[in-house]
A and B are shown apart, each in its own frame.
Chain A
Amino acid sequence: MRFIFKTRYEQDLNIARHGGDWFWYGLLLVLMVLAPLVLDLFYIGELTLVLIYAIAGVGLMLLVGYTGLVSLGHAAFLGIGAYTNAYFLGQGWPFLITFPLSGIVAALAGIAIGVPTLRMTGLYLAIATLAFSIIVEKVFSHWSSVTGGFDGLPVDAPDLFGYELWEPWQLYYIALVVLVLVLWGSANLLRSPTGRAMVAVRDSEVSAQSMGVNLAWTKTIAFAVSAGITGLAGALFGHFVQHLAPDSFAILLSIQLLLLVVVGGVGSLHGAIYGAIFVGALPQLIAIARDYLPPAVSQIPGLEPGLFGVILVLFIIFEPFGIYGRWRKVKLYFDLFPLYKKATFKRQKAYLKTERLR
């Protein structure tokens, strides 16, 4: 086990806790940078998708995992980002403008759904965001002059400094850079007052308020930042599929994103990455499983969404802190070996809580 000797307050402000962390993050980044040189086209594509999921996952994580607000409508923000980016690229605007713009438009949409639902939590918020995403989907299919309606909208290649970037590995690097920046910005937010206020709102609204946290403002910011980041992911997703259709941004995608957050590990940025890898790999796993299942089972329509649902429920019941939570337990087990106690992670039921002020 590693004991960290702290001598300066800055050490608690650093993103990585110690040199070892920097080493592993650095190694991972180097591997990610080298990956396209050795991988073939199919895997570059799959990795790009994982990166895009990870960006969207970080966005949703800020809302669900850190602010405690659930959203079943994040596919809508993905879609808004994708359509905004594609539309303005089509108008001849440069990618360096359309890309941030897609984040801003999605963030504004986030405020538009965040403000009217300020007093909602839990199931009611889930339903409201779901309704919002259905409306947005309808807008995509009917606002033909902008979105191309059911015919869809072709997405031009991103351009940088006059070069059109059609190659898959180019998109891979764009997604990688965006993910690193988004992670950095999110980690910064989380170590600042606004991020702490989000956690405070999640854990106790009354006392957050008495600490001077403006609930309405904090929730609105959380929605805006979350939707904005997801919108950026949407813009990249548009480049990935190269052709937008309204049904690309349906409820199933929202559930997939929620699955990502829950399976990865609620309340950690690491969790968003683990979740993205899981959600990216899941269709492959299901396809492989199909070959081994009897046809009567593997041919059932809706097998995939059904499995998503089952996995979601199983994780909520058995491992509420997701893959990242499980990883921390395994790591601690080896750190403490052979002294690990089963009760280490059991929550203490130390006292009763009245319901009155909740």
Chain B
Amino acid sequence: MTFFQADGLSIHFGGIKAVDNVNFTIEKGEIFTIIGPNGAGKTTIFNLVSRIYEPTMGRLVFQDQDITQVPAHKVASLGIARTFQNIELFEHASVLHNLLIGRHCHRKSNLLSEILFLPSTKRLELEHREKVEEVIDFLDLAVYRDQMIANLPYGVRKVVELGRALCIEPTLLLLDEPSSGLNVEETQDMAFWIEDIKNDLGITVLMVEHDMSLVSQVSDRVLALNYGRVLAEGAPREVQENAEVVRAYLGG
């Protein structure tokens, strides 16, 4: 079974080939990391996978299903969750509210039952809440539960965004630069959480990351990208020592 596969994935913006014939597969249960200098096309790959961008060419396969035509709002219910490089939380809402929106793809109530707030709707809401509380416990967010996002420090927002993605109960989690903007301690926490997400929750992780020590610590396999093309793929150490990758990072 193919868990996840990008097959000849390409997207062109005018003349720029942001992603150019990229192939990779992700095995279930691993942490797969994409590295590369700024502008390499890493975030663009995420936007392709979450179906925000339309690929110029190529195919995306998830759990043996071709998802290249799935609309963006259906991706979550397939079990693919993501975070954003520049944090896209719902700012004027509480942490709890943000996490509950993560449950949206599991919505079973209909409009009428919601307007009347029937007992069935209330029961479903309580079930969502229980799931959300599990995530709050997992990520230690209890003290921030009722706070507005707009009042939270950057590091906490980053964790809330991770939590919101976990509320989807995904099988594949996309993390775009989880450690960017975090201090050393927060980065270490993030590394532990990512490992727990893999080991305890059994979620497969596709990650974009710049911090090489974090990459080596958690990744099973690494893919290096430059100018939208694959430079190297393999174990973290191998890729980091690859001559072409070194040259790309040094700007050669």
| A and B held together in a complex | yes
- Does any Cβ of B come within 8 Å of A276's Cβ? no
- Does any Cβ of A come within 8 Å of B248's Cβ? no
B88–A204 touching, CB < 8 Å = yes
Q: How far is the CB of A225 from chain B (nearest CB, A)?
A: 8
Interface size class of B (residues with CB under 8 A): 35 or more
Q: A204-B90, A351-B181 are in contact. Are A9 and B129 (CB under 8 A)?
A: yes
A193–B76 touching, CB < 8 Å = no
B111–A194 touching, CB < 8 Å = yes
Closest-by-CB residue of B relative to A10 is B126
Q: A199-B97, A206-B84 are in contact. Are A188 and B117 (CB under 8 A)?
A: yes
CB neighbors of A among B93-126 (8 A) = 93, 96-97, 100-105, 107, 109, 111, 114-117, 121-122, 125-126
- Does any Cβ of B come within 8 Å of A200's Cβ? yes
Flag the segment in B56-64, B146-154, B203-211 that touches A. Answer: B146-154
A13–B84 touching, CB < 8 Å = no
> How many chain A residues touch B (Cβ–Cβ < 8 Å)?
39
Q: A196-B101, A210-B50, A211-B101 are in contact. Are A191 and B125 (CB under 8 A)?
A: yes
B52–A197 touching, CB < 8 Å = no
Residue in A9, A193, A206, A357 whose Cβ sees the most chain B Cβ within 10 Å: A193
Interface string of A337-355 (1 = CB under 8 A from B): 0000000000110111110
Q: How far is the CB of A214 from chain B (nearest CB, A)?
A: 5
CB neighbors of B among A213-260 (8 A) = 213-215, 221
B125–A215 touching, CB < 8 Å = no
Contacts of B100 in A (CB 8 A): 196
Contacts of A204 in B (CB 8 A): 88-91
A193–B107 touching, CB < 8 Å = yes
Closest-by-CB residue of B relative to A185 is B115
What separation, in Å, do the CA atoms of A351 and B47 have in the docked complex? 22
Interface string of A8-27 (1 = CB under 8 A from B): 01101100000000000000
- Does any Cβ of B come within 8 Å of A164's Cβ? no
- Does any Cβ of A come within 8 Å of B74's Cβ? yes
- Does any Cβ of B come within 8 Å of A209's Cβ? yes
Q: How far is the CB of B233 from chain A (nearest CB, A)?
A: 26
Contact partner of B154 (CB less than 8 A), chosen from A188, A192, A197, A350, is A350
Binding site for A on B (CB under 8 A): 47, 50, 52, 71-77, 81-82, 84-93, 96-97, 100-105, 107, 109, 111, 114-117, 121-122, 125-126, 129-130, 133, 150-154, 157, 164, 168, 181
With A13-B125, A210-B50 already in contact, 16 other A-B pairs whose C-beta atoms are closer than 8 Å: A9-B133, A188-B115, A192-B109, A192-B121, A193-B103, A193-B107, A199-B92, A199-B97, A203-B90, A203-B91, A208-B90, A210-B72, A210-B75, A212-B104, A221-B111, A267-B92
Q: Can you list 28 A-B pairs, Cβ within 8 angstroms, ordered by A?
A: A9-B133, A13-B122, A13-B125, A13-B129, A188-B114, A191-B117, A193-B104, A193-B107, A196-B104, A197-B104, A199-B93, A200-B93, A202-B90, A206-B52, A208-B101, A209-B73, A210-B72, A210-B75, A211-B101, A211-B105, A212-B74, A212-B77, A213-B73, A213-B104, A221-B111, A348-B151, A350-B152, A351-B181
